Amino acid sequence: MKETLSCLHPNPGWNGCDLEDEPDFPYEGLDEMIGKHCILELYECNQFKLNDEVFIRKSLTSASKIAGATLLNMVTHSFEPQGVTGLALLAESHISIHTWPESKYAAIDVFTCGQQTMPEKACKLLFREFAAKTYSLKSFRRETPASINVLSREP
């Protein structure tokens, strides 16, 4: 059986996209940085903070501000018996967190668009907020086709 994206996508109405029809990477015309994406993993955190939904909401708000981003909305969810998932929707993109208090671990993404934002500052703040003893930080540039670099979007 030949796999298509419709076989992989959870929406059964999304079909007709053959994997073999995908273009070769890298794309042409990627010449400007649209933003930076930081993947932060926090280890040996304060497990009570990792399970505190209100604390996580406040931390994501502070991280948004220190990164120089505009917070548009936030959604969080507490799991039973433990763990929290949160998403701060930014005009410049997003900050997301998923926590495993039982392992004292948090997985965080900070993606910000534009030259004025500082996602690394958000990562430093979150490291301190969750009292992590160790971390892993991977940061890379997100690029965009030159054809949309001239577009401006207001929050």
Active site residues: 93, 98, 113
Amino acid code (one letter) for 9: H
Cα distances (angstroms) measured from residue 90 to each of 72, 75, 139, 152:
5, 12, 18, 15
CA–CA gap between residue 5 and residue 73 (Å, rounded) = 30
Residue 92 to residues 2, 81, 122, 123, 144, Cα–Cα distance (Å):
38, 33, 13, 16, 14
Which amino acid belongs to residue 12?
P
Instruction: Write out the DSSP string of 84-117.
Output: EEEEEEETTEEEEEEEEGGGTEEEEEEEEESSS-
